[in-house]
Amino acid sequence: MAGACGREKGGPDRQGNAAAAGGERDTHLHTITGNSNGSLFMKNKLKDSITIKILFAMCICIVSFTLVSSLVISALLGSRLSERARQTNEQYLITIRNQLNGYIGELNTLGALCASNQNITQALGYHTLNNVSAKRMCLKAQEALDSYLSSSSLTLYATRLAIFNSDNICITASASRGHNISETEQLQEYAAACFQNGTGTPVYSWRSAIPNVSASALTSSTDKDSIILACLYPLSVSDGYYLYMEIKPELLKSPLAPYQNLQQIFITNEDRSIFYSSFTPSADFYGELSDLTDGITLQTGGRKYELSSCRIPEFGIYLCILSDKTLFAGDNLYILYLLGIILITTISAGLIITRIVSTRITKPIHVLTAHIRKISETDDFSYNPDIVTSSDEIGEIGHAVNHMALHIQELLTEMEKMFEQRKNIEISLLQSQINPHFLYNTLDSIRWMAVIQKSKNIELTTRALENLLRNVAKGVGDKITLQDELSLVQDYVHIQKVRYVEVFDIHYDIPEEFLSCKIIKFTLQPIVENAVFHGIEPTGEFGEIDIRARSDGEGLYLTIEDNGAGMTPEELQSLKESLKNSNKDSLSGIGVANVDARLKLNYGPQYGLLYDSMPGEFTRVTIHIPLERD
């Protein structure tokens, strides 16, 4: 009884300890309250620091993303613009070249017309102009020249147009300056030098074939170095008939006029002399013209340019266009301005959005923190709807906190009930405690008296009861072999057969390979006991109980089946609920439901008891446990 008294004092002691703990916690709460004013600033600072961290992190992400995106977009757009500029320049050059090719075609057409004109060929066929017919034919030839020149677009640029032969006969257009004998001889020498190999290809030159006259006499200019385009066209090389034309350089400048304000254009010849430019080249620019490969980079005036060039082989010149490659210039500067505006706008919008998001995150966090602090300070585990107002992750956390608080409250209530039940059980055990050795010795004496009196049934029954009581006294949580468990069932069945004579019989179908498998003690006995009391006895007829064993390789299945009353699903569920605790006639004090709980506790939730029953037919209980061998 001393032990019982000691356990009974456990309840008041626990309450006293709880009260002491409560007092200590109250003291701690007073300390916290006393320091609350001092920590208010720290809490506000912590709140601000979290917000600042969120803002800072978001700003870094936004700025980094926007900056990288801007640089990538700038590079892509810059590359795209450069490519478009290159393509545009190529189109410009193609257009200009086509116009110049048109002028070249005009020159060839003019030469072909002159070569095919009968008056011109007849006039050039004379060796002298001493007779009237020769002079009359020369006038007709001059009229033909005037007609061809006036109908050609070259009339705007031609300063001299003449046809001549090797006999010093030279016929000029009316608008052109005439030739004297000396000038005609110079033209003959120039033609002989150009066509000495007998080729009939027109010859173009950027100097006059009459050097003594030069361009000043042709253009009424006082500049002796004026550039002129001279064209010598062979009407008939074999007969010595030629057409000579001098053209103003405006022939080249006119196609460039529409583009000179859009691009930087210049024209150079094979000697790299620039005789036309839409800009003023720097002094060092001429030194970079040694290579006019398309796509190279040239520099002038401190800026870098990409060169697009096109050679006109007939005139021996290069048409060149420069595209500015400087970063802060033209379209590139516009792109940078645009990206700067996008960057500032994105950062501003990001800061506003970040602030809004930060507020929406921190506000419910503060509510949640206040509720958790309330739980820790007041032991108030009640449901708080304020922390589950949102449906996001924070709302899920609030729902989990509410669920946890309610679960803690349930656990505390359950612990109080368990403590009360444990106290009552300990008192009952102490009150009913009997010395097991005294009980075993008494049963052993009865068994020997039966042996002496040759009462076999009493001897076997006493031995069975003694074995059962010994195993109950040793505890019911140990694991034993299936063979030992079946021995306990046989002892129990022997005792029940003494009580219920000719009421039931039991059969075993256990392969020998499973006898060494491990099983928790008193797993089969409560189920066999339930089959006798609730399956066979209510029928009032003789019944049979079958115990079988099988395995699927990983699990062991033990089936206890009786042919008793059977049950409906509702009756089966009701019976499972009523069998959670054993009745007063139970041997081991373990209910069938508790057997299931013990199996799940030891092996896991996938193991335990499986029920199957049919009213008036059978009740089958299958035990599923892992296959463990001794």
Residue type, 307: L
Question: According to the model, what pLDDT value does residue 580 have?
Answer: 52
Question: According to the model, what pLDDT value does residue 612 have?
Answer: 92
**Closest among 106, 206, 210, 194 to 153, alpha carbons compared:** 106
**Closest among 590, 466, 574, 582 to 525, alpha carbons compared:** 590
Question: According to the model, what pLDDT value does residue 21 have?
Answer: 40
Query: Which residues face 311 on adjacent strands?
Result: 318
Query: CA neighbours within 13 Å on the CB side: how many for 517?
Result: 22
Q: How far apart (Å, rounded) are the C-alpha atoms in residues 118 and 233?
A: 17
Question: According to the model, what pLDDT value does residue 578 have?
Answer: 59
Query: Which residues face 205 on adjacent strands?
Result: 230
Residue type, 364: P
Question: According to the model, what pLDDT value does residue 27 have?
Answer: 41
Those residues with Cβ within 8 angstroms of residue 616's Cβ, 6 or more apart along the chain or in another chain: 565, 566
Write the secondary structure of 399-423 as one string of H (helix), E (strand) and C (coil): HHHHHHHHHHHHHHHHHHHHHHHHH
Q: Spell out the alpha helix ranges (H) of 151-306.
A: 181-194, 216-219, 250-256
Question: According to the model, what pLDDT value does residue 428 have?
Answer: 55
Contact call for residues 308 and 93 (beta carbons, < 8 A): yes
- Under CATH, what is the fold of the domain 475-626? Heat Shock Protein 90 (3.30.565)
Contact call for residues 545 and 505 (beta carbons, < 8 A): yes
Question: According to the model, what pLDDT value does residue 619 have?
Answer: 93
Contact call for residues 562 and 618 (beta carbons, < 8 A): yes
Query: Which residues face 323 on adjacent strands?
Result: 306
Q: What average pLDDT does the structure give for the chain?
A: 76
Residues of the chain with pLDDT under 70: 1-51, 175-179, 198, 211-226, 260, 262, 326-333, 424-445, 447, 449-450, 453-456, 473-477, 575-591
* Dihedral angle, C-alpha 154, 158, 163, 169, nearest 10 °: 160
Those residues with Cβ within 8 angstroms of residue 39's Cβ, 6 or more apart along the chain or in another chain: none
Question: According to the model, what pLDDT value does residue 453 have?
Answer: 66
Does the pTM exceed 0.75? no
Contact call for residues 580 and 513 (beta carbons, < 8 A): no
Query: Which residues face 274 on adjacent strands?
Result: 268
Q: How far apart (Å, rounded) are the C-alpha atoms in residues 243 and 190?
A: 12
For the domain made up of 117-253, the CATH class stated in words is alpha beta
pLDDT tens per residue, range 420-437: 877 765 655 554 444 555
**Closest among 179, 262, 264, 195 to 233, alpha carbons compared:** 195
